[in-house]
Amino acid sequence: MLAFLIHFLVMTGIFAIVALSLNFQVGLTGLSNFGQAAFMLIGAYTSAMMYMAGVPFVFGVLAGMVVSSIFALIIALPSHNLRADYWAIVSIAAAESLRLFVNNEKWLAEGPFGIRGIPRPLSSLFGDSYTLFYLVFVVVCLAAVYFALERLNRSPFGRVLRGLREAEDLMEALGKDVFRFKALAMIVGGLVAALGGSLYAHYITFISPETFAPDVTFLIWTMMIVGGSGNAKGVLLGALVITLLNTSTRLLKDYLYLPSSLVAALRTLSIGVLTIGFVVARPQGILPERRHVVSYGKEEGGS
Amino acid sequence: MLEINDIHKAFGGLQALSAVSLSVKEGSITGLIGPNGSGKTTLFNVITGFYEQDRGTVELRGNSIGDLPPHSIANRGMVRSFQIPQVPRDMTVMENMLVAGQRLTGENPLAVLLRWPAVRRQGKQQIERAEALLDRVGLLDQRDEVTGSLSGGQVKLLAIAQTLMTDADLLLLDEPTAGVDLALTDQIMELLKDIHAEGKTMMIVEHKMRVISGVCEYVYVLDAGKVIASGEPTAVQNDPHVIEAYLGGDAASGSREWE
Amino acid sequence: MQITQLIFNILTRASELALIGISLTLVYDLLDFASFAQNSFATLGAYLALLFSVGLGMPLILAAVLAVIITGILGMLTDRAIFQWLRESSAFIRMVASIGLAQGIRSMVQVFWGGQIKDYGLGVQEPLTILGATVTPIRILIVVVAGVAMLGFHLFLHRTNLGRSIRATSDNRELAEATGIDTERVVLYVWFLACAFAAIGGILIGLETQLRPSMGQVILLATFCVVILGGIGNVYGAMVGSLIFAAAENIGIAINIGGFQFPVRYKPALAFIVLILTLLIRPSGVLGRKES
């Protein structure tokens, strides 16, 4: 039971990190990025391959972040003045093309077979209680990401991003290079998602192109919409709720002896229904975005 | 200070601007009037880089800015407001002011994350400046309200305060009193005169003659994309071409615009 | 490759894409958002036809017609259930809702029919040779059905009252309202048409290849590409776009310049490349209106 709880919390933590990254790009800046799975893929593959080649874990993760930043630019460059629907299509197309590439080029990363047996860092040190250690590790990363992104949100940088959401022309007129800010938002979000991908790879120890299908992106989107786009605490809540939904349907499989493909389909169905439900009935999510009250000496966020 | 020469701009088959030339002297308040659809906002968009002209030049302090993007032009000290104000509805009034600050170290994410001292220092300065300006336009009490809850008139005042916040030397204001009641119009006119007295150069688009004659020193009149008259407000007001342009099409709406 | 074979391959591919492309364009044009759900309606239509033909023993043509009509009706129902509440929301919100809907439809198909590959049970077809091209009767049927559907649609738009109402609402909604057109009703009919067209497209794809729950979604990028290439908001654009795209795909694969060939396994990425090129060179598409 405890093992299950720890596993659940680790998964929640990892997905919460990716959801926060998406929130930064979508909730805050208003970029309709549907390629998040690709950033996770980059982080996962880069850190896995580098660690297995003997590079220290931290450097592998950082390398993943660097590669994801480049990918973020690739998406941002042709798209920067396009409408939201075009952004969605371009980002999905880019993500799928990347996934196709990794799938086809077997020399790169075993193609469709994926990478198995990804070693877990410091596993020899912790032996049986490794998952608990990993949970602490994930929570530390999550906290760091949360506070860093919140800091950015409340800063002048974050203000421009939020201004971009609805008043792009105004931002240009006030001297802000809109493309630069959009690109930076994509880069920051991208490298946080890559971190999430790395954490995933070294925990689950198996990744393949199939792992990072667009379904994962839609899952993260649902977390953000349900929890509250634009509100970091809300997004955390959304990650918790959706991961709960996901893991509980797995319990369903074990207790009701339903075939796993059916359970997977029911899971996707409930995600779809949840998304539609919230979009129609409560688009601001469970915890809506709060206004930012700025005062002397200390800038406070309202959330 | 601002020289505009022979601007042509067409959209599809429609010639929005033809051979438009005007100049704005440093320290002056220049007006641009014309009936609806005469191309005033189009000209503003061309000057500030939102549209690209088909032909013609735009020079700020002798430097050509005709092919620069809007943010570069704003960085050079020329800032505009919008006829229909774009307001980020979920941001507070104070945040709207702060975002208008220029050359802020805090807009660099690295500086924010690494806690460079300049970020905090500038933050304090900016807040003080913003509060002073908000007080001046009478919006200090609404400091922490989201802009979505402001009235139309308040939004107009905020837009003007924002342009002041940028500390730009040349302000282009697109219909600062549009849709605003009489009392507020007077208030805004006083504000504009004050700003002018402080040494700012301004160019104001309006179609209310009253505002133009009350505030501007020199006026250009635009009709169907061409400059049809220019001069001091009283001279222009009595120019027969101008009168015809305003009243020729539709007598009822024309005389209403005349105010 | 024989030129006639190339042309025929292009026509077949274009036929499949065009129908879903028209579906996308109709929703884009009258409801003003990018619907990610049309491809899933295509899948649904294909599976319903499977249900009626293989499952209930109806002749395939009847099953197909029934499936198309029912999918159209389901389209109207989703408007009543979901999108009518989002009329005032942003196009972005509607798009997100359509993504959720696409997920929902796909997973429902999977729940009811399972994930295994299925087909309409037509057996192996004897290919014919016409003008030097090797074609199967099925593929001829696909091109013919698509052609008839598009011709019929064209006549419908220009010769019927409803068609005129649709065109009027598409051009200028307020004006259409002002002239007495019940635009809400037009919207419902458009949903019917869009989902019916998608269903036809899905059935044709199922006829040519097989049925699997992801069949609509695998061509999601291609269909969006077709619509953007042809020009959003113009149903003829979808037809033109699908021809150009199918040509690019087939010619691109067939080209052999000094030993360099575009690898077949990267065919899906072609959509991405065409998309980026379109957006960089002419974002309004071939037949689209330039936004001022």
pLDDT classification of C1: cutoffs 50, 70, 90: low
Please list, residue by residue across C256-275, b when 16 or more beta carbons sit within 10 angstroms of its beta carbon and e when fewer do.
eeeeeebeeebebbbbbbbb
Residue B26 DSSP one-character state: T
- Touching chains, A (3+ CB pairs < 8 A): B, C
Helix (H, G, I), strand (E, B) or coil at B224: coil
Among A157, A230, A291, select the one facing B107 at the smallest CB separation.
A157
Cα separation, B130 vs B140, whole angstroms: 9
Shortest distance, CA C22 to any CA of chain B (angstroms): 27
Question: Which of A188, A291, A295 best tests the B interface by mutation, with the highest count of B CBs <10 A?
Answer: A291
CATH 1.20.1440.230 fits B2-87+167-258, yes or no: no
Residue percentage of chain C with pLDDT more than 90: 29
CB A243 within 8 A of CB A8: yes
pLDDT classification of C292: cutoffs 50, 70, 90: very low
List the 165-224 stretch of B: residues with Cβ below 8 A of C: none
Give me the pLDDT at residue A148, please. 95
Cα separation, B169 vs B79, whole angstroms: 8
Residue B175 DSSP one-character state: -
Sort out which chain A residues have CB atoms less than 8 A from C115's CB and list them: 261, 265
Shortest distance, CA B119 to any CA of chain A (angstroms): 9
Number of Cβ pairs < 8 A linking chain B and chain C: 3
Shortest distance, CA A35 to any CA of chain B (angstroms): 22
Which residue in chain C has the smallest CA separation from A272? Answer: C100
> Across-strand partners of B59?
B3, B64
- For A156-192, the pLDDT digits (tens) are 999 999 999 888 999 999 999 999 999 999 999 999 9
Cα separation, C127 vs C133, whole angstroms: 10
Helix (H) or strand (E) holding B256: helix B251-258
Residue A29 DSSP one-character state: T
Residue tagged 């390398």 (tokens): A63
CB C219 within 8 A of CB C20: yes
Q: Residue A146 above 90 pLDDT? A: yes
Tokens at residue A75, please? 């998406």
Shortest distance, CA A56 to any CA of chain C (angstroms): 34
Chain centre to alpha carbon of residue C260: 32
Question: Which of A269, A271, A274, A282 best tests the C interface by mutation, with the highest count of C CBs <10 A?
Answer: A269
* DSSP alpha helix (H) spans, chain A: 2-22, 36-52, 57-79, 84-104, 106-109, 123-126, 130-154, 156-166, 168-173, 178-204, 214-227, 232-256, 260-281
- Would you put residue B182 in left (φ > 0), alpha (ψ -120 to 50) or beta? alpha
Tokens at residue C130, please? 């016409």
Per-position DSSP letters for C8-77, written without gaps between them: HHHHHHHHHHHHHHHHHHHHHHHH-S--TTHHHHHHHHHHHHHIIIIIT---HHHHHHHHHHHHHHHHHH
Tokens at residue A296, please? 């002397």
Tokens at residue A264, please? 């997977």
Burial of A278 (0-12, 13-18, 19+ CB in 10 A): buried
Cα separation, A73 vs A257, whole angstroms: 46
Cα separation, C160 vs A271, whole angstroms: 41
pTM of the full predicted structure? 0.88
Among B70, B88, B127, select the one facing A172 at the smallest CB separation.
B70
Q: Residue B255 above 60 pLDDT? A: no
CB contact under 8 A, A272 and C34: no
Q: What is the mean pLDDT of chain C?
A: 85
Q: Residue B193 contacts by C-beta under 8 Å, 6 or more apart in sequence?
A: B215
Give me the pLDDT at residue C278, please. 82
Residue tagged 């500086």 (tokens): B111
Q: Residue C243 contacts by C-beta under 8 Å, 6 or more apart in sequence?
A: C10, C14, C18
Q: Residue B107 contacts by C-beta under 8 Å, 6 or more apart in sequence?
A: A155, A156, A157, A160, A176, A181
CB contact under 8 A, B82 and A230: no
CB contact under 8 A, B146 and A291: yes
Cα separation, A58 vs A175, whole angstroms: 38
Shortest distance, CA B190 to any CA of chain A (angstroms): 24
pLDDT classification of C258: cutoffs 50, 70, 90: low
Sort out which chain A residues have CB atoms less than 8 A from C107's CB and list them: 265-269, 272
Which residue in chain B has the smallest CA separation from A159? Answer: B99
Q: Residue C261 above 70 pLDDT? A: no
φ/ψ of A191, rounded to 5, equals -75, -25
What is the identity of the amino acid at B153?
G
Which residue in chain A has the smallest CA separation from B142? Answer: A293
Lowest-pLDDT range of A54-63, B36-45, B128-137: B36-45
Lowest-pLDDT range of A111-125, A289-303, B244-258, C133-147: B244-258
CB contact under 8 A, A156 and B94: no
Q: Residue A238 above 90 pLDDT? A: yes
Picking from C214, C244, C241, the residue whose alpha carbon sits closest to that of residue C226 is: C241
Q: Residue B254 above 50 pLDDT? A: no
Tokens at residue B39, please? 């191309």
Chain centre to alpha carbon of residue A94: 16
Number of Cβ pairs < 8 A linking chain A and chain C: 118
Sort out which chain C residues have CB atoms less than 8 A from A104's CB and list them: 263, 265-266
Mean pLDDT of C147-153: 90
Mean pLDDT of C156-179: 84
Tokens at residue C104, please? 């929902």
Mean pLDDT of C8-30: 90
Cα separation, C13 vs B123, whole angstroms: 59
> Across-strand partners of B196?
none
Measured between CB atoms, does B11 come within 8 Å of chain C? Answer: yes
- For A76-133, the pLDDT digits (tens) are 887 777 788 888 888 988 898 899 888 888 787 788 888 888 888 877 777 777 888 8
Tokens at residue C148, please? 């008839």
Residues from A contacting B (CB-CB < 8 Å) are 148, 151-152, 155-157, 159-160, 162-163, 165-167, 169-178, 181, 184, 188, 230, 289, 291-297, 299
Lowest-pLDDT range of A24-28, A46-50, A112-116, A223-227: A112-116
Sort out which chain A residues have CB atoms less than 8 A from B65's CB and list them: none
CB contact under 8 A, C34 and A218: no
Give me the pLDDT at residue A140, please. 95
Q: How many separate helices (H) and strands (E) can be counted in chain B?
A: 11, 10
pLDDT classification of A302: cutoffs 50, 70, 90: very low
Shortest distance, CA A33 to any CA of chain B (angstroms): 20
CB contact under 8 A, B95 and A159: yes
Q: Residue A133 contacts by C-beta under 8 Å, 6 or more apart in sequence?
A: A122, A125, A126
- Would you put residue A117 in left (φ > 0), alpha (ψ -120 to 50) or beta? left
- For B209-224, the pLDDT digits (tens) are 788 888 888 888 888 8
Sort out which chain C residues have CB atoms less than 8 A from A100's CB and list them: 266, 268-269
Every domain of chain C and the residues it spans = 14-213
Shortest distance, CA A157 to any CA of chain B (angstroms): 4
Which residue in chain A has the smallest CA separation from C277? Answer: A78
Burial of A73 (0-12, 13-18, 19+ CB in 10 A): middle
Sort out which chain C residues have CB atoms less than 8 A from B11's CB and list them: 292
Q: How many Cβ atoms are within 10 Å of B214's Cβ, its own excluded? A: 15
Shortest distance, CA B211 to any CA of chain A (angstroms): 24
Q: Residue C66 contacts by C-beta under 8 Å, 6 or more apart in sequence?
A: C48, C49, C52, C58
- Touching chains, C (3+ CB pairs < 8 A): A, B
Measured between alpha carbons, how far apart are the two ends of chain B, in Å?
A: 31
Which residue in chain B has the smallest CA separation from C292? Answer: B11
Q: What is the mean pLDDT of chain B?
A: 85
CB contact under 8 A, A273 and C104: yes
Cα separation, B150 vs B106, whole angstroms: 27
Shortest distance, CA B22 to any CA of chain C (angstroms): 25
CB contact under 8 A, B106 and A167: no
Cα separation, A208 vs A102, whole angstroms: 9
- Touching chains, B (3+ CB pairs < 8 A): A, C
Which residue in chain A has the smallest CA separation from C32? Answer: A85
Lowest-pLDDT range of A56-60, A151-155, C112-116: C112-116
Among A152, A162, A173, select the one facing B88 at the smallest CB separation.
A162
pLDDT classification of C104: cutoffs 50, 70, 90: very high
CB contact under 8 A, A175 and B119: no
Residue percentage of chain A with pLDDT more than 70: 97
pLDDT classification of A195: cutoffs 50, 70, 90: very high
Shortest distance, CA C278 to any CA of chain A (angstroms): 11
Every domain of chain A and the residues it spans = 2-213
What is the identity of the amino acid at C276?
I
Give me the pLDDT at residue B151, please. 87
Give me the pLDDT at residue A18, please. 96
- Would you put residue B253 in left (φ > 0), alpha (ψ -120 to 50) or beta? alpha
CB contact under 8 A, A101 and C101: no
Which residue in chain C has the smallest CA separation from A221? Answer: C96
